[in-house]
Amino acid sequence: MTPGDLKADHNLSRTDWLVLIALFVAAAAFQLSNPTNGDTSWLLTVGEKILSGDQLYKDVIETNPPMSVFIYLPSVVAQAISGVSADVFQVFYMLILIAGSLLLVGSIMLTSGATDGMPRFLTMSAFVLTIIPVYTFSEREHIAVTLILPALVLLATRADRCPQRVGQGVLAGLAMGLALCLKPQFAVAILLPNLYVAGRLRSLRPLFAIENLATAVVVMAYGVFVILHYPLYLQVILPMLQETYRSVRLPIYLMLLSPQFISVFGAGVATASLMPRHRSLSFILALAGFGFLFAFFEQGKGWPYHLFPAIAIFFILFLTHGMPRFVASLEGRERRSPLPLAAGAIAIICFASLFPFLKARNISSLPLAARIEAIVPHPKILAISYELSIGHPLTRMVGGTWVGTVCSEWLSETASLIADLPTTSPERKERLRGWIEHDRDTMAHDLRVGQPDVVLVDRKTYPWDDLMASGSEAATLLKNYRLVDRAGDIELLARADLAARFPVDQPVR
């Protein structure tokens, strides 16, 4: 599909194209002028370590299956070839993914003949995928919803018995398969729309459509690849995660009562009530949005960014199908009814209340960036914290090298939380203490082998005093570091020979 094709079809005007281009330019400008979000920064760092020869799940530990690292490798490879930061490439890589997704969506709509409202759908989808993520930009959730969108549009055309091309189904299925490899929890967001189409057509054949077969091939091939090439993940990392990280879950009632979930759910219900009855696409988007909410609960962490796929789908649905009806009712162009007016107002309020958390970025270690750069060029960095955001993206921002095996002490944190529960059996407590010792041994290894120039210590979340009183190897090695600066609860320690050049030269307490 080319701009010329769309213009000939009288769907996208010159203004539409200018708006789309402006959205992509604005997103690029904003993302390039701000630090990469912590998760993306860490996964880019993992990719760098792999390219330099480290073995995933042995030399560098990541809690997620390999695809979470692989999806970011193109930017890391581009950095190795060009010397330009992978963070820069990741911005354009993500925008290319979004553009490719929307081009496929447009192609599917043109082939099906369902071009009514296509300019609005493409423009609003571009707005939601490029501008709305703010600091969730390029998270796996952002990537996944971008990859799944063409399959949802394809399902809508199938429900309406519109013509399709095999190539479109294959591409949509491959993209959908990659999304499921990133996070299998998203399967429900795909299953519900498929069941809707099968029910509407009164046939099971749609469940075996080309896009679903392509998705199944990708997922199965990926599963075999992991079994053959990453047995450590299945044999060591996964059992460890089940014992610790995966076992720490926020109670469901707290997730249900979280302001972010209430806003997303309220927006979804309000938007669904505005859906036109004759549009399969609106039903499929709504079902996908509620399916993404299942993934939020299955992961059990309650982190707001886990809600982003649902936010994106509901917002696209509202802007394309809900808002026109709300405006028409508001202006009296259709029979005045309290339902569209009330639903539209509720949806707008709910979406507006989500903006503060979408733009929130509280990286408490960033004020220390200038001091770190002054200590030594391209420093070797380690952080002692339960929070990933203490070391990432700071390490990449200062051109440093992360010498840690893990992104943070998440293993100690989760093991300690479970061990402190009164319901935890003595046998399990003993195993959990073993994981805590393992985490401390990993820290000692990183200090001894990596020899970091600077160490960031999170005094708010990490039990620093317990560590220093433990008499462990890590505590002994840390006595060779001096306090040179602090930002709130974050202390910056430098190796003694480097710290001697700074006026604040205090021994580690």
279: left (phi over 0), alpha (psi -120 to 50) or beta: beta
Structure tokens at 493: 């320690």
pLDDT of residue 506: 53
Question: Terminus-to-terminus CA distance in the chain, angstroms?
Answer: 64
The residue to which tokens 């299953």 are assigned: 191
Cβ atoms of 386 and 457 within 8 Å: the answer is no
454-500 pLDDT tens trace: 999 999 989 999 999 988 999 999 999 999 999 999 999 999 999 88
Position 279 scores a pLDDT of 79
| Strand pairing class (481-487; 506-507) | antiparallel
- HEC profile of 389-419: HHCCCHHHHCCCEECCCCCCCHHHHHHHHHH
Residue for token digits 């075996």?
A: 208
Query: CA 115 to CA 264: how far, in whole Å?
Result: 29
Residue 348: C-alpha distances to residues 255, 271, 353, 425 (Å): 22, 9, 9, 48
Give the pLDDT of residue 2: 39
Give the SS3 label for residue 487. Answer: strand
131-182 pLDDT, tens digit each: 999 989 999 999 999 999 999 999 999 998 898 899 999 999 999 999 999 9
The whole-number pLDDT of residue 362 equals: 66
Contacting residues for 275 by C-beta, under 8 A, at least 6 apart: 282, 283, 286, 317, 321, 322
pTM of the model: 0.93
Q: What angle do CA 253, 244, 419 make, to 5 degrees?
A: 85
CA 347 – CA 272 distance, rounded (Å): 10
d(CA 222, CA 85) in angstroms, rounded, equals 28
Q: How many CA atoms lie within 13 A of 330 on its CB side?
A: 11
């009530």: which residue's tokens?
Answer: 273
Place of tokens 């309220």: 266
Nearest to 410 by CA among 387, 427, 435: 387
Q: Are 144 and 309 in contact (CB under 8 A)?
A: yes
Q: Scan for tokens 């967001």, then name that residue.
A: 189
- Spans of the chain below 70 pLDDT: 1-11, 277-278, 333-337, 360-362, 503-509
Q: What is the pLDDT of residue 74?
A: 97
**What ranges do the domains of the chain cover?**
1-248, 250-361, 366-507
pLDDT at 3: 38
Contacts of 436 (CB under 8 A, 6+ apart): 411, 412, 415, 416, 419
Provide the edge-to-edge strand list for the sheet that holds 401-402.
Answer: 401-402, 380-384, 454-458, 490-495, 481-487, 506-507
d(CA 204, CA 198): 6
Q: What is the number of other CB atoms lying within 10 angstroms of the CB of residue 327?
A: 13
